[in-house]
Amino acid sequence: MQTLVALESFPSVQKISLVWLKRDLRLSDHEPIFEAVEAGFPILLLYCFEPSLIAAPQSDERHWRFVWESLSDLNSRLKPFQGQVMVLHQEVLPVVEAISEEFSIQAVYSYQETGIKITFDRDLTIADWLASKQIPWREFLQQGVERKRKNRDRWNNLWFGLMKSPLKNPDLKKAKWASLSKSFFENFPQNPIPKSWQTPNPGMQPGGESVGRKYLQSFISDRVKNYNRHISKPELSRKGCSRLSPYLAWGCLSVREVYQLAEQKAKSGFQVRNFTNFTSRLKWH
């Protein structure tokens, strides 16, 4: 008599959308998160402190303190929605490779980063690996800077088109989340987060979307009055300028949202000339 042997059943691998955070450390007007939510799969939010980038001459401890503070703020804002950013101190490729062994990555979502050669080369490496695994990578424009342009023809139209397009605010109430297990963090080789990054510096603006919004509101309601007069005066500019540069540079605020808020204020007749000059400088980001 032939004996039937029951096949061992293996748990299915969870399908996820991977959102790779870089210089977009916010929740509002975040197109990659917006699209990942709409895709319907559980979302794994990932940020990597990349040793190669940290070692670059353009890098300084103050940058990574600001990023750490921004990530801490992000996780505080995500907590009511049961979400969390997975933070690792390692290069991106080995992290994504390890994640792909635990999950079935349906797509990677991120903003297109316009940075230095290290980040450009890293993106090429990630693109090659994802293509080899047939994993789609959906990249979105953030500041209107477009790669591979040979000239500035029609760039102005592109920038204004992006700035005037609707904000992409993800509906976090309907988001489903994925997270890395405790054993993943215990077994995956990575560097510890330096204590100096986790220690606030009272002499510097703290990172995070929450603080960035406070600077934004105080600027558009008050400090903008002295914008044109004080912009070239080192001592007075701290009380007359926006002080938004780090929040725009690290994506704690979106350039598009700041542009639209400034335009709304100007259209109401408030400080029109100051806001006009301010919005023209947003192109520098």
Mapped onto helix, strand or coil, the DSSP state of residue 151 is: coil
Q: Is there a contact between 231 and 237 (Cβ–Cβ < 8 Å)? A: yes
* 203 domain-assigned: no
Residues 166 and 134 in one domain: yes
**Residues 29, 156: one domain?**
yes
Residues 115 and 246 in one domain: no
Q: What total number of domains does the chain contain?
A: 2
Examine residue 8 and state whether it is found in any structural domain, yes or no: no
Same domain, 65 and 172: yes
Domain assignment present for residue 5? The answer is no
Shared-domain flag, residues 146 and 85? yes
- CATH code, domain with 37: 3.40.50.620
- Which residues form the domain of 97? 15-187
Residues 180 and 214 reside in one and the same domain:
no
Let me know if residue 215 belongs to a domain.
yes
Domain of 213: which CATH number? 1.25.40.80
Residue 113 included in any domain: yes
- The size of the chain, in residues, is 285
Q: Which of 131, 155, 187 finishes a domain?
A: 187
H-assigned helices in the chain: 31-39, 51-54, 61-78, 92-102, 117-132, 155-164, 182-187, 209-221, 227-230, 234-240, 245-249, 255-267, 272-281
Residue-by-residue pLDDT tens, the chain, 285 positions: 344 444 444 457 899 999 999 999 999 999 999 999 999 999 999 999 999 999 999 999 999 999 999 999 999 999 999 999 999 999 999 999 999 999 999 999 999 998 899 999 999 999 999 999 999 999 999 987 777 777 777 888 889 999 999 999 999 999 999 999 999 999 999 999 999 999 999 999 999 999 999 999 999 999 999 999 998 898 888 888 999 999 999 999 999 999 999 999 999 999 999 999 999 999 887
Q: DSSP letters along 74-128, please? A: HHHHHGGGT--EEEESS-HHHHHHHHHHHSEEEEEEEEPP---HHHHHHHHHHHH
Do 80 and 179 have their domain in common? yes
Spell out the residues 6+ positions from residue 104 whose beta carbon is closer than 8 angstroms to its own: 13, 14, 15, 16
Phi-psi region of 154 (alpha: psi -120 to 50; beta: other; left: phi over 0): left
